[in-house]
Chain A
């Protein structure tokens, strides 16, 4: 894992002290809320329905057990004993007091963590593949590149006041586990003729105008990746709209001027800056890459697993993935217990996951965009012990990628922008389908409490969007979205429903799917083959 050097540490420490002073001035009344708000947002501090909310960055979703334990400590000491892991691989605390915020940031800084660039119109925390460094299908570990991007974008003066927020994801496999094409810039590392480079996609995003990112560059060699990205950002910074917040994302710029015009601009800018020394020296890349070299895996770890406990076998088949190293495996810990709150983990659960990582997992954890936690490097021989410990902590739900593995935003229970609650709906759906979810197979269900789409509803095989219908909660249903390599945007089925109505509608959709499916088709495959009409008929009669 990456370790801060003295520069990283000093800028984070300086930021904490600067914020401490700003908070003091706010508490004394020297600053108005209008003056203070942009300052607190630059440090990840929002004001939500019930309290201040702090969003802490987990760069590219990677943590060690010491950092994870710190997250548990903060939940226990400063919050109400839990945190919420988000679709951008971060964690949010819902009950923060303003006066505590500087101390929290100071504690985070001791384990090389912060809340910088988790808000505002800057380049946000870089997201990546939660299986990075462990997956058999990657051409390279994407995290050294994500780390370089982090360093490049941190306090980048030119990109601190972009027209709007900017989200970047980097992956290195054909299977997209990071919703890469739904980011402002998506980077897929590739190898061509033995040379490492990347395909660049620009202009994806969700929100009120969902769009899939367009391929802007077929292949840029790694030695010019940063300068090419700088060119992409510059063109956006220059031409992106600042007159209308709803048209300010880069996706709208590409939509308005067209991909070809955007690409031409980027190429012209790139030609002007490519030799200015923006790309890091190879020695720096080598230094960073070495830190991600990964653990020394035991070469004689046994490859077989005792499946005699049937509950364990179910979890093994659902939540454990193949590792590049024989005798090893990747464990996804579900934060979606049936009837629970998607993405929430208590301080005790956070500590337990840290302990397991330390004891069995080479000290590494990952946060996934589906709001789960991954132990990327465990020995197969330890899987049963891990599962037993998880089960005792209510963390062993065997539902990865099934209908109850729901992405849900905080919704109206916590969020001041919400139209409707997301979490109670997730709980009802989990309870309704718990008994037959395995029979339904892979079915990704995603819920947002408003049009901002923090819960990725556009990208759900089944998506749900909360709307306000004359002061009452109402839900629209979408079908056919995907955030994976087969990316697509869901379509609305028709008129919306109340809370119970939408659960019933989903049951009619899944019943129809079971009746229509051929061989081992997933719900999404069946939907793509037969289209919306049969499902519409099932729902509305």
Chain B
């Protein structure tokens, strides 16, 4: 599957395209399929998100899992500061990255 991601213009937060809007949680991301480029251009025009780009991901039971480790770290947060990730209470969250 293909996901659309970027960083929120104002906060810099990592965000994912949900079909209608942007979410901080990769679980909310939808497969943009062949529409990626068109959504990307429209969203670039809206100027809410910085440098949006398309990535490959795998659909899993827990939701989309980005193909590249860099985007998995973006999705979770720094692996060396579990307390600052999006899942501070989940001790196994780091394993998902690797």
> Which A residues are closer than 8 A to B by beta carbons?
26-27, 29, 32-33, 47, 49-52, 80, 94-99, 341, 412-414, 416, 418, 421, 423-424, 427, 471-473
Contacts and interface: CB of A to CB of B under 8 A. Distances in A.
Contacts of A423: 78, 80
A49 B73 contact: yes
B59 interface: no
A418 B70 contact: yes
B12 A52 contact: yes
Interface in B61-84: 67-70, 73-74, 77-81, 84
A414 B85 CA distance: 12
Most buried by A among B9, B51, B68: B9
Contact of A413 (B10, B14, B51, B73): B73
Pairs of residues from A and B, 6 with the lowest C-beta to C-beta distance, nearest first: A51-B12, A413-B78, A52-B12, A29-B47, A423-B80, A97-B11
A115 to B, nearest CB: 16
Interface string B45-59: 001001100000000
Contact of A51 (B7, B51, B81): B7
B58 to A, nearest CB: 12
A414 B77 CA distance: 8
Given A51-B7, A413-B79, A473 B47 contact: no
Contact of B13 (A51, A413, A421, A473): A51
25 contacts: A32-B47, A33-B51, A47-B12, A49-B74, A50-B13, A50-B14, A50-B77, A51-B13, A80-B84, A94-B78, A97-B10, A98-B12, A341-B81, A413-B78, A413-B79, A413-B81, A414-B78, A416-B70, A418-B70, A423-B80, A424-B79, A424-B80, A471-B69, A472-B69, A473-B69
A440 to B, nearest CB: 25
A99 B10 contact: yes
Contacts of B70: 49, 412, 416, 418
Given A32-B47, A33-B51, A424-B80, A50 B12 contact: yes
A96 B47 CA distance: 19
A427 B47 contact: no
Contacts of B14: 49-50
A473 B68 CA distance: 11
Interface string B76-96: 011111001000000000000
Given A412-B69, A471-B68, A341 B80 contact: yes
B7 A47 contact: yes
Contact of A26 (B9, B13, B77): B9
Contacts of B11: 51, 97-98
A412 B12 contact: no
Contact of B51 (A47, A96, A98, A473): A47
Contacts of B51: 33, 47
A33 B47 CA distance: 8
A102 to B, nearest CB: 13
A471 B9 CA distance: 28
A431 B56 CA distance: 36
Given A26-B9, A33-B47, 6 more contacts: A33-B50, A47-B51, A96-B12, A412-B69, A414-B78, A421-B79
Contacts of A418: 70
Contacts of B50: 33, 47
A521 B74 CA distance: 44
Nearest to B80: A423
Given A49-B74, A50-B78, A97-B12, A471 B7 contact: no
A92 to B, nearest CB: 13
A98 to B, nearest CB: 5
A383 to B, nearest CB: 32
B78 A98 contact: no
A299 B65 CA distance: 66
Contact of A412 (B7, B13, B67, B73): B73
B10 A98 contact: yes
Contacts of A27: 9-10
B80 A413 contact: yes
Nearest to B7: A47
Contacts of A49: 14, 70, 73-74
Interface string B19-43: 0000000000000000000000000
Contacts of A97: 10-12
A52 B13 CA distance: 8
B61 to A, nearest CB: 22
A341 B83 CA distance: 14
A106 to B, nearest CB: 18
A29 B10 CA distance: 11
A106 B7 CA distance: 25
A304 to B, nearest CB: 42
Contacts of A26: 9
Contacts of B10: 27, 97-99
Given A49-B14, A49-B73, A98 B80 contact: no
A331 B77 CA distance: 35
A26 B10 CA distance: 9
A25 to B, nearest CB: 11
Contacts of B69: 412, 471-473
Contacts of B13: 50-51
Nearest to B70: A412
A80 to B, nearest CB: 6
Contacts of A473: 69
B67 A471 contact: yes
B10 to A, nearest CB: 5
